[in-house]
Chain A
Amino acid sequence: MSENSKNYKNPDGSNLTDSSSKIETKIEGNDNKKDVSTSIFKKRWKKFKTLKRGYYSFIIILILYALSFILPLLVNKDALIVQYEGDYYFPVFSYYAAEKFGQDIPGEANYRLLNEKFKNDDSDNWVLMPLYPYGPNQNLLDELEGSPPHPPSIGHICGTDDRARDVFARLLYGFNISLSFAILVTIVSYTIGTMVGSALGYYGGKVDIFGQRLIEIWATLPFLYTIIIVSSIVQPNFILLVFVLNLFWWIGITYYIRGEFYREKAREYVSAAVSMGAKNRTIILKHILPNSLTPIISFAPFAVVGGIASLVALDYLGFGLPPPTPSWGQLMNQGLSNINYWWLVTFPLIAMFLSLLSIVFIGEAVREAFDPKIYSRLR
């Protein structure tokens, strides 16, 4: 294939490198003198910060995601601290039977009831509950009237699901799981895709032709259909589902990386490295790779969006994470199987929508920061 036809096949990528060098010099010329020495990444980060919508979305998502790791301290059925008969207990971290605090219910203590009891008793005992005192997997059948799912009420702002579990708590825990899942899928698929793509692009020739055929087989498999087939046979857990999704996701990255490697390989600095006797490994990892990461980094937030959307879709179809994992798609499945349970469709959808929207904003800003192309307006 001639160089020309390759350019037409990938009109986006082909102009990237050419215009980038032009714009880079422009920026250096315009900015202060000390900026000349700052690294390209720092410049991009600076540009990213000026794109308010994306930057703030990034901060918000970062904070929410960090908070979601200490969710057991914020949204939980277990009390943070119990002071009972002069002793302190920390139920978040360990299990206490109900008898320990003088409750006559089987199994674990119910700290919400305990809280009320202590308040009414007028004793020195007290309970410190988390901000939102319901857990994602706790069955609230005993406390609520009527049959589940319960519509939203003051205590349960998003209602409960068909097993009387609090929807709001499940949504929050689902946020952590969805985002972790998507980030992990993105990282793994990028790693595999980059490795395969750089090998194909760097070595070229027979490796490339053979590899391309194999990739074509993978790429042609109907993605969702095959994943459903695999997950219907083996009940997937978190790691397995990451693996299954990655069976397909790495392919998209190889195209980009392969193209970049083909282009970069022909440049002078690579010839220089070769003539200095650098090993293939060094050339791939230290010389070419840093120069070819731009298109895939600016694509990463959108991969995360795709990861979350895929997880929700698989959970909706019943081929996702095993129960009782809190998941948005599973709630939507319940809601769509009975149209009257509107809160089981609407709230997970809002949660997904807001998360995806902010990540799309981030992605848009990253792309603008990384893409040096300046679009001219018509006239």
Chain B
Amino acid sequence: MTFYFIRRFLLIIPTFLGITILVFCILQIVPGGPLEMELMKLRGMGGTLPGGEVTSSTGGTTGTINIPESALEEMKKFYGFDLPIHLRYARWLGNLLTFNLGKSYVYAEPVWDVIKSRFPISIYFGLIGFTLTYLICVPLGVAKAVKNGSTFDFATSAIVFMGYAIPGWAFGGLMLTLLGGGSFWDVFPLGGFRSDDFEYLTFPEQVWDQFYHTILPVSAYLVNSFATLTILTKNSVIENLSQDYVKTAFAKGLSEKRVILGHVFRNSLIPLATGLGHALSLILAGSILIEVVFNINGMGLLGYKSILNRDYPVTMGILVISSLLMLTGNIISDIFYAIIDPRIRFK
């Protein structure tokens, strides 16, 4: 089994290479990249080259400005377009091996520093949202399964259906519109991680401020996976309830509580284990949509903006991190499987 997991970890390497080559090629081959955007800007108004050299200012009656060959070369070098594509990829990969993700075009800082500063914010919301989701959905799912067909089951099913029909980010948007101080009530702030004057607040005020900014985004995270997780738990428990070992447990005189918590529950956790590994990327990388809606400066929003600004080093950096998280998440899921269900043998 250990051998199996070692092999799985080694298989990350080719998959990872495949992913990065794919996205790297998409970014580099297709027109409209950062170099062309910069050239367009220069032709439009004239300006300063990244190297610091001043190009010809406004003037030419023709309307277009000729950019000197040397300056063009320099720009190509700055944006990393000076080599054929396979060498460019090799250079990027070589840098990656030394943990150098390059330098952001927009922030003029190393990509890793930019991403590192966003990590805690995404983790904060992701972790709270994730914990809350499991704390609510798993017990709810168990309760629904045990009381399958009752009024309680029926009433909560209505909520589950509604949760399925509304994506988390849209729910968050609705809450913002209703409670964010627009045309209706002014209860919650319009998003963000903290207030701007956070540093000047007293400690209790800081706690309150943070709490205030947390509620709506976390509720959006909750809505995101509420329906699927609850139903998954319910179905899993129900399936186990009809197994023979449950009859045996009842027959030997165990209380309902012990049967459910001691026998059924552990067996029902197996399908939930998959979610745990996949949650890794959500916790660490955040949800793009929710972060955009609430203007939370986390990984998701960073990635979104980097695409808008053609900040390719950051785009690739986030891709590297999120795909590594995804790959390790898959393996962690399987490890959880093996822990929860000792009968499972991976070969």
A340 touches B183 (CB 8 A): yes
Contacts of A341 in B (CB 8 A): 182
The closest CB in chain A to the CB of B150 belongs to A377
Instruction: State whether A220 and B15 are in contact (beta carbons under 8 Å apart), knowing that A5-B344, A234-B30, A349-B166 are contacts in the complex.
Output: yes
Tell me if A376 counts as interface (CB < 8 A to partner B).
yes
B32 touches A336 (CB 8 A): no
Contact mask A325-350 → B, CB, 8 Å, 1/0? 00000001001100111100110010
B184 touches A342 (CB 8 A): yes
Tell me if A2 counts as interface (CB < 8 A to partner B).
yes
Tell me if A41 counts as interface (CB < 8 A to partner B).
no
Instruction: State whether A342 and B341 are in contact (beta carbons under 8 Å apart), knowing that A225-B319, A357-B161 are contacts in the complex.
Output: no
B167 touches A309 (CB 8 A): yes
A222 touches B322 (CB 8 A): yes
Tell me if A305 counts as interface (CB < 8 A to partner B).
yes
Tell me, rounded to whole Å, the shortest Cβ–Cβ distance linking B219 to chain A: 15
Tell me if A105 counts as interface (CB < 8 A to partner B).
no
Contacts of B289 in A (CB 8 A): 224, 313, 316-317
Contacts of B165 in A (CB 8 A): 305, 352-354, 356-357, 360
The closest CB in chain A to the CB of B235 belongs to A12
Tell me if B114 counts as interface (CB < 8 A to partner A).
no
> Number of A residues contacting the other chain (C-beta, 8 Å)?
53
A313 touches B169 (CB 8 A): yes
> Number of B residues contacting the other chain (C-beta, 8 Å)?
70
Contacts of B238 in A (CB 8 A): 375
Q: How far is the CA of A229 from the CA of B23 in the complex (A)?
A: 9
Tell me if A221 counts as interface (CB < 8 A to partner B).
yes
Partner of B174, one of A9, A316, A317, A346: A346
Q: Which of B306-322 contact A (CB under 8 A)?
A: 307-308, 315, 318-319, 322
Tell me, rounded to whole Å, the shortest Cβ–Cβ distance linking B272 to chain A: 11
Tell me if B139 counts as interface (CB < 8 A to partner A).
no
Across the A-B interface, the 10 shortest Cβ-Cβ residue pairs? A339-B182, A356-B165, A357-B165, A217-B18, A345-B177, A233-B30, A376-B242, A222-B322, A342-B183, A375-B238
Residue numbers of B with Cβ under 8 A of A are 11, 14-15, 18-19, 22-23, 26-27, 30-32, 146, 148-149, 161-162, 164-167, 169-170, 173-174, 176-178, 180-184, 190, 235-236, 238-239, 241-242, 250, 256, 260, 270-271, 281, 285, 288-289, 292-293, 303-304, 307-308, 315, 318-319, 322-323, 326-327, 330, 337, 341, 343-347
Extra contacts besides A222-B281, A378-B241 (15): CB < 8 Å: A8-B337, A213-B14, A220-B19, A221-B19, A225-B303, A225-B318, A228-B304, A229-B307, A229-B315, A233-B27, A316-B169, A336-B177, A349-B166, A375-B238, A378-B148
